[in-house]
Amino acid sequence: MHRDTSEYHQLELSIAGDPQDARRVMPEVESRHRRVLDVGCGAGQTLIGCRLGEGVLAVGIDTDVTALSLGKQFTTAIQFVFGEGEALPFADSSFDLVICRVALPYMNVARALAEMYRVTAAGGDLWLVLHPFGMAVRELGGNIARLQVKAGLYRSWVLVNGLVLHVLGKQWRWPLPSGSYETWQTQGAITRALRTAGFHQIRITRDSHFVVTARKPQ
């Protein structure tokens, strides 16, 4: 059962709608992007913040049924679907733009990217926001400062899992029920993973956010 995250999603919606908020990070949606998929959409905040034009198909997929229900209250302009990023329930070449804001770090990266490639149309674009090493370290530091032993053990595992992903291109799944594949990412590892999936024209920016864009060849 998912915990109530309504307050979090309300905050995220507020951030997505405020261009002056430094926490805001949004994809560039072009006129040729007529079909847009958000993998790990939460309550659809990013798609809502994009202010997509009339006639654009907007689809969000997530495993959090509470967030999906909340998203349906936020808007009727998005088709919300329950499902995993590693097994997208869509036909090949269904979307012109696939976005994934800070959700890929919780997935099996290789499987999810392969699925994103499959559902992206030829010449279509991919937009990702990822977790850097420093974020995982800060969270572990917070766990230690607050004497959160279980959370600290999990965060230590995430740090090791990210290192394994960077060095070997592999991931482990947290052994407890409903465990995720959570990792942090590096430029080298995500570039290799994207190329393996088939993407090209990979661009990475590391300003206030770790943003990656790529394209599926024509």
Beta strands per DSSP E along the chain: 35-39, 57-62, 79-82, 95-101, 120-130, 200-206, 210-215
Instruction: Find tokens 């805001």 and name the residue.
Output: 24
Identify the pLDDT of residue 156: 97
3-state secondary structure of 218: coil
Label residues 143-174 b or e (16+ Cβ within 10 Å = b): beeeeeeeebebbeebbebbeebbeeeebeee
Which residues of the chain have a pLDDT value below 70?
Answer: 1-4, 178
Task: Say if residues 183 and 128 touch (Cβ distance below 8 Å).
Answer: no
Q: Which fold has domain 6-131+185-215?
A: Rossmann fold (3.40.50)
Task: Say if residues 49 and 16 touch (Cβ distance below 8 Å).
Answer: yes
Identify the pLDDT of residue 4: 62
Residues in the chain, total? 218
Among the listed residues 166, 197, 211, 162, the one whose alpha carbon sits nearest the alpha carbon of residue 182 = 162
CA 137/CA 78 separation, integer angstroms:
35
Strands 210-215 and 120-130: antiparallel
Within the chain, all domains assigned CATH 3.40.50.150 are found at: 6-131+185-215
Among the listed residues 127, 126, 6, 23, the one whose alpha carbon sits nearest the alpha carbon of residue 64 = 6
Amino acid in the structure at residue 215: R
Q: Which residues pair with 95 in a beta bridge?
A: 120
pTM over 0.85: yes
Identify the pLDDT of residue 112: 98
Identify the pLDDT of residue 61: 98
- Which value, to the nearest 10 degrees, does the dihedral of the CA atoms of residues 97, 99, 105, 107 take? -60
Task: Say if residues 19 and 51 touch (Cβ distance below 8 Å).
Answer: no
